Amino acid sequence: MKKFLIWLAGTIITLSLVVFSLIGPVDDSPLASKPFYQNTIHRLNSFSPKKFSPGAKLKAAWAVVNITPAQKMPMAGYAPRNHFDSVHDSIFIRILGVDNGNVKCFFISADLLLFPPALKTKIEEKKNRDTFLYFMATHAHSSLGGWDDSPIGNLILGSYNELWLDTLTQKIVSAMNEITLRMKPATLKYLEADASEFVENRLDPVNGPTDGKLRGIKIERNDGTKGLLVSYSAHPTNISHLSLELSGDYPNALVKKAKKGNYDFAMFAAGMVGSHRVKGINATEFALCDSLAAILYSKINSAQESIINDSISIGTIAIDYGPSQLHVLQKYKVRDWAFRKLFRPLTGSITYLKIGNIIFLATPCDFSGEIFVRDNLGKLAENRGEHLFITSFNGDYVGYITYDEHYGHSEQEEVMAMNWVGPYYGNYFSQIIQLVLERTK
């Protein structure tokens, strides 16, 4: 009995040490006193984007790269699914290029859960130096995995497939080169429509504010062809997590609808999806996707439009982060060293691209439209005659950025499992965006 008690005590002590080494308390002290916060704010106070006045009539062109694999690959978006069984709709990377005579910019959107950081890095290493890249994703939850080489990435998203990413890189870089050769004079128009009745706040369905705007850019070329870039903030989580059918969810259905309608090219970018989901559609799965696509396309066709001038400004806003804070319980987190081993260090900037009076900001996260509404970020831009166009998944990823009042209270996945940064980051990102607007008046 004595030996058993000694063994039991040793086991308990060992397990306690292991738990203590892996789990620690959430740091809920204010960010303002933290060096990383001060570094970012100081950097922002001197932020100045590069401005390019038109050197010629603005030109535009586009390309579509089919990335649907011939062989079975893992899926990403829910629990691990190590292969798809069939293809409901093919998966693409779509690219829109614009050139005002002094700078070339490419919008690149992937029909993936997010734009893979590894793919972003590979593209940037091979792109032409005189181009600016703005990465986006549709955030489809029934699309392909295999693009994250971290231990958790290999577990949840399937085995990392570097050969596939290398192939995609070459196709995308080649497509950008072809776009450059096929540029034609074009007029850009900003469009905006209200589709609030089809999106709700899943952290607070009753009272939570939502961003329900459809935002887009219409491209009208002098050869009569037309393109469309459109964004919406409802999560593409409409296909069952048990499904093994490859699909781009409602964004793909919307793109197909546009191409059958008035447009020769269309692409979609996930907007401020951090706490938003689809509501109000009396259908499920693929029928829901088709119904929502038809509704959104109708709203696009009746949207208000305004011509955008050809001036372009570009920049990258580096953001510093504190130690990671992946929740285990409300008051406890995975320690940062363990997070770094399982995932990867928190890194991610904001991409700034302004065309005419449209300010595009691409964020490294699931950014929440609730922050946008509560903090009046859109109105700050509107007050100076501009439109703020925020997208998520810019090729880096730091988890969900949601409104701060939910932290420490909500048991929802967005706040518990997918907030990797900790409390007060909703306000942190909001302050960054406000400073960007202030610095770029």
pLDDT above 70 coverage of the chain, percent: 95
Q: Which residues contact 440 (CB under 8 A, 6 or more apart)?
A: 47, 48, 49, 313, 352, 354, 359
Residue pair 217/229 in contact (Cβ under 8 Å)? The answer is yes
pTM, two decimals, is: 0.94
For the segment 170-191, what is each residue's pLDDT rounded down to a tens digit?
A: 999 999 999 999 999 999 999 9
For the segment 89-129, what is each residue's pLDDT rounded down to a tens digit?
A: 999 999 999 999 999 999 999 999 999 999 999 999 998 88
The end-to-end CA distance of the chain, in Å, is: 77
Burial of residue 236 (CB within 10 Å: 0-12, 13-18, 19+) is: buried
| For range 374-386, the mean pLDDT | 96
